[in-house]
Amino acid sequence: MSKPISKTLIIGLGLIGGSLAKALKINRHCGQIIGYDRDFEESKAGYNAGVIDLAIENLVDAVSTADLIVLAVPVKAMEKVLMDIAPFIAEDTLITDVGSTKGNVVAAAKRVFGDVPTGFVPGHPIAGSEKSGVAAADHTLFENHKVILTPLAESSSDSVNVFTRMWESTGAEVLVMNVDKHDEVLAATSHLPHMLAFSLVDTLAQEQDNNTDIFRYAAGGFRDFTRIAGSDPTMWHDICLANKQALLSQLDRYTAGLANLRAAIECGDSESMLGTFTRAKAAREHFSRILSGTAYSQHMSNQQVTFRAQPGGSVSGKIRVPGDKSISHRSIMLGSLADGVTEVTGFLEGEDSLATLQAFRDMGVVIEGPDAGNVTIYGVGVNGLQAPPGPLYVGNSGTSMRLLSGLLAAQAFDTELSGDESLTKRPMGRVADPLRLMGAEIETAENGRPPLKIKGGQSLKGIHYDMPMASAQVKSCLLLAGLYAEGDTSVTEPAPTRDHTERMLTGFGYPVEQNGSTAKVTPGGQLHATRIDVPADISSATFFMVAAAICPDSDLTIEHVGINPTRIGIINILRLMGANLELLNEREVGGEPVADIRIRYAPLKGIHIPEDQVPLAIDEFPAIFIAAISAEGTTVVSGAEELRVKESDRIQAMVDGLKILGADIEGTEDGAVIQGGTLTGGTVESHDDHRIAMAFAVASLRSTGTITINECANVATSFPGFVELAQSAGIKVEKEKG
């Protein structure tokens, strides 16, 4: 443990040194704050302004008694100051700096000290303002800003901890990275943009004849882009020299990118131009969402959404629910692998399918939209994906992670797949194990959980796989891997599961051989771009089907719903329970059957749900539990153990919630026994599971009191606009954000 800090010496009382001194003086985190500046008048001004406890003129005395020293002088002056103070620094003194480049500061320290002291931890607060000098010192300057510490091999962990706590006491967020990485990151994110701004303004200003016109007519874009050209020239001169190598390589990358764009403009290469603009726009939007804390990754973890549903009501009218989630995911995946341009309509703009869309953009695919459900995908061909710049984050989406793992296992590049807290608890061994049999190299966290680290460059062999569970995700994962394997890949399922992958591959002109319960692909084919009209999601429609089925006086039509035979378990089950349900206007759209579904109230009766219907209604059980409560008699669910590994343990979540609402229900290993009856009001947990949240909202139609449902933000994964649509249909649910 390092000794307590009773004296802190800040050398250099400019904006950064002064602000740090003031923050530490106010929060009393680092003992007495002593200030030194080359210009003693500045030190005195600092003392008079309450920035420091003591102003000193003689540096040597202060250095020898200080426990902690902060070098807040310009980067160029660092070596000289170090040289002046080195002989007087005690062995256990902690030293840091605030320079905006690090490689040169470390090199200077090495020259001065030979062996750099263990107490030396270089640092860089990423904060500033146009003001300068101690008079501008602001103790809040670092609040919510980042400070990067770049410990050296010699730095002791105690010193890193002390500096971390010091900066955190000012309200900053501390990040740790190595010196080279720091200089690279800063070169890209700060130094390069400054160079571009300086150079652009300088170039335009040199146009002798019309430069005043240019500046007069320059609109917001020019002003925004060149604001930083007003920064201090001497400081930037010094930074360019201090971070020369990293800056030069960023300038080279940038000039190469600009040259590509120039060439694309010259030869009218629209695809290339649109590629650059679309990727940049998407990246910029992604970045803005992260900055404003509303990216799906952030949104999921930060935003608390509660549903409050008042009892009673009935549902009627005509509605259309958003696009099918399973088909939306697959449209992006296969559209990206196709040759040519695929147009998608009816795409689900939910967080899950958007995560898939972002993943493919990250792998270099140009995707326009989504715009009112329209997406245009510029396919790159089966072998055209590129290495993503970092881990692919797929939020809450099990489908995205499992299907992508098959595809990525066969790519030439390494990838990492990560997800949110709920996804991180879900089993991935079910895909990793058979993929390994094909020759894939995949690392998972403990017990086969995400993240998945997938090693590229493996040659896969086709296998035959007998799936131990009925899972469309596992089947699809293996078929996608099979596109790249040597030899055929076939998968046999123990019960029929959704066949959207097989249908869509066929729609893209890639044959899938179906033989009873076995699907087989042969590698080496091509996918040809096509049009995809995504039908409305029967799983989302389910909440409204159940709502109308349980509520006297209801008469609701849900339009354009996908009624693929592998998805219609809910229709079969509701009919067996006595629901009055009609399929109207049946048609086929882009290889998928579609219909309008009309449901009118009719009394329901409890049944033992046939186990062969379970995989065909696997996502519908939270809503089916509500139908069962509203039915007369007992409903038994069995053979549904897969419900325990969905976005939550759906058996437990429904049993717990319904018990709170007064229901007579018992969970079993693979289902539940549910007695029809009435529900009271109460507060239930959705466990961040979209379908649990929506099911309890529907339950309010038959409850006697208000139902409050916690943790509903994830409804946006599959059903953006659920609350508004539910209200318009007659469910009295409201959303509260916290």
611 Cβ contact partners less than 8 Å away, ≥ 6 residues apart: 638, 639
Q: Residue 232 CB: number of other CB atoms within 10 A?
A: 11
Nearest C-alpha neighbor of 283 from the set 378, 366, 196, 346: 366
- Which of 8, 155, 473, 714: binder of ligand S3P (CB under 6 A)? 473
- Residues ≥6 apart with Cβ < 8 Å to 370: 347, 349, 354, 357
Kindly state the DSSP code that residue 371 receives in the 8-state scheme.
Answer: E
Q: How far is the CB of 304 from ligand S3P (least distance, A)?
A: 24
CB of 132 to ligand S3P, least distance (A): 57
Q: Which of residues 638-657 bind ligand S3P (CB under 6 A)?
A: 642
**Restricting to residues 601-640, which ones interact with ligand S3P according to CB under 6 A?**
618-619
The minimum distance between CB 406 and ligand S3P, in angstroms, equals 12
Pairing of strands 32-36, 682-685: unpaired
695 forms part of the interface with ligand S3P (CB under 6 A): no
The residue (of 121 and 432) whose beta carbon lies closer to ligand S3P is 432
Indicate the residue among 12 and 569 with the shorter CB distance to ligand S3P: 569
Can residue 702 be called a binding residue for ligand S3P (CB under 6 A)?
A: no
Q: Closest separation between CB of residue 606 and ligand S3P, Å?
A: 24
Question: Minimum distance from CB of 234 to ligand S3P (Å)?
Answer: 59
Residue for token pair 């089950």: 573
For residue 615, the minimal CB distance to ligand S3P (Å) is: 7
Cα–Cα dist 73/99, whole Å? 8
Segment contacting ligand S3P (CB under 6 A): 106-114, 176-184, 358-366, 468-476? 468-476
Distance CA 382, CA 678 (A): 54
Residue 458 CB, shortest distance to ligand S3P, in Å, is 24
Residue 408: name the closest of 386, 430, 376, 428 by CA: 386
Q: Closer CB to ligand S3P, residue 109 or residue 521?
A: 521
Q: Tell which residue, 382, 386, 395, has the closest CA to residue 415.
A: 386
3-state secondary structure of 623: helix
Residue 444, CA distances (Å) to 29, 433, 583 in order: 42, 10, 44
- Per-residue contact string for residues 233-272; x = within reach of ligand S3P by CB under 6 A: ----------------------------------------
- Residue appearing with tokens 């007695």: 675
Q: Which is nearer to ligand S3P, 398 or 451 (CB)?
A: 398
Q: Report the relative pairing of strands 513-515 and 518-521 from DSSP bridges.
A: antiparallel
Both tokens of 194, joined, read 């400054």
Q: Is the CB of residue 92 less than 8 Å from the CB of residue 69?
A: no
Choices 51-59, 302-310, 333-341, 470-478 (CB under 6 A): range interacting with ligand S3P: 470-478
Stretch of 197-205, 233-241, 413-421, 467-475 contacting ligand S3P, by CB under 6 A:
467-475
Closer to ligand S3P at the Cβ: 22 or 500?
A: 500
Q: How far is the CB of 720 from ligand S3P (least distance, A)?
A: 16
Q: By CB under 6 A, which span of 86-94, 251-259, 441-449, 466-474 interacts with ligand S3P?
A: 466-474
Q: Which stretch binds ligand S3P (CB under 6 A): 23-31, 50-58, 77-85, 469-477?
A: 469-477
Contact status: 351 vs ligand S3P (CB under 6 A) = no
Q: Show the tokens assigned to 487.
A: 């030899």
Token reading at 624: 């089916």
Residue type, 17: G
Q: Which is nearer to ligand S3P, 8 or 326 (CB)?
A: 326
Residue 228: φ, ψ to 5°:
-75, -5
The alpha-carbon radius of gyration of the chain (Å, integer) is 31
Question: What tokens appear for 470 in the block?
Answer: 């009925």
By CB under 6 A, name the one of 182, 498, 560, 702 that touches ligand S3P: 498
Task: Enumerate residues 142-181 that contact ligand S3P by CB under 6 A.
Answer: none
Q: Which residue has tokens 């509605």?
A: 319
338 in Cβ contact with 504 (< 8 Å): no
| Alpha carbons 21 and 138: distance in angstroms, whole number | 9
Please report how close the Cβ of residue 455 comes to ligand S3P at its closest, in angstroms: 24
Q: How far apart are CA 460 and CA 441, in angstroms?
A: 10
Q: Does the footprint of ligand S3P cover residue 717 (CB under 6 A)?
A: no
Task: Say how far apart CA 534 and CA 561 lie, in whole Å.
Answer: 9
CA within 13 Å, CB half, 469: 18
For the bound state, the minimum distance from the C-beta of residue 538 to ligand S3P, rounded and expressed in Å, comes to 11
Least distance CB 325 / ligand S3P (angstroms): 7
With CB under 6 A as the contact rule, the residue among 342, 422, 476, 489 that binds ligand S3P is 476
Q: Is 689 a catalytic residue?
A: no
123-126 vs 146-149, strand pairing mode: antiparallel
To 5 degrees, how large is the angle CA 53–CA 18–CA 74? 130
Alpha helices in 551-689 (DSSP H): 569-576, 621-629, 650-660
Which residue number is nearest to ligand S3P in terms of Cβ? 326
| Structure letter (DSSP) for residue 140 | T
DSSP string, 494-535: SS----HHHHHHHHTT---EEETTEEEE-SS---B--EEEPP
Which is nearer to ligand S3P, 96 or 476 (by Cβ)? 476
CB-nearer residue toward ligand S3P: 491 or 618: 618
Considering the complex, state which of residue 306 and residue 471 has its C-beta at the smaller distance from ligand S3P: 471
Find the binder of ligand S3P among 354, 472, 485, 684 (CB under 6 A): 472
- Rounded to the nearest whole angstrom, what is the least distance from the CB of residue 289 to ligand S3P in the complex? 25
| Nearby residues of 719 by Cβ (< 8 Å), 6 or more positions away | 321, 322, 350, 537, 540, 543, 690, 694
CB contact at 8 A, 62 and 34: yes
* 431-460 residues near ligand S3P, rule: CB under 6 A: none
Q: Does 326 bind ligand S3P (CB under 6 A)?
A: yes
Residue tagged active-site, from 420, 596, 619, 688: 619
Q: Give the contact letters, 397-436, x = binds to ligand S3P (CB under 6 A), - = no.
A: --x-------------------------------------
Size of the site for ligand S3P (CB under 6 A): 10
Determine if 353 is a binding residue for ligand S3P (CB under 6 A).
no
H helices of 497-641, where? 500-507, 538-550, 569-576, 621-629
Question: φ, ψ for residue 572 (rounded to 5)?
Answer: -60, -45
Indicate the DSSP class of residue 120. Answer: B
Q: What is the DSSP letter of 394?
A: -
> Judged by CB under 6 A, which of 328, 471, 540, 564 binds ligand S3P?
471
Shortest gap between Cβ of 136 and ligand S3P (angstroms)? Answer: 56
Q: Which is nearer to ligand S3P, 368 or 642 (CB)?
A: 642
Mode of pairing for the β-strands spanning 592-600 and 555-562: antiparallel
When the beta carbons of 137 and 474 are compared against ligand S3P, the nearer one is 474
- List the x/- string, 182-221, binding to ligand S3P by CB under 6 A: ----------------------------------------
Q: How many CA atoms lie within 13 A of 351 on its CB side?
A: 24
- Based on CB atoms, which residue is closest to ligand S3P, 172 or 432? 432
Q: Which is nearer to ligand S3P, 410 or 491 (CB)?
A: 491
CB 409 within 8 A of CB 458: yes
Residues that bind ligand S3P (CB under 6 A): 326, 399, 471-473, 476, 498, 618-619, 642
Catalytic positions, written as ranges: 619
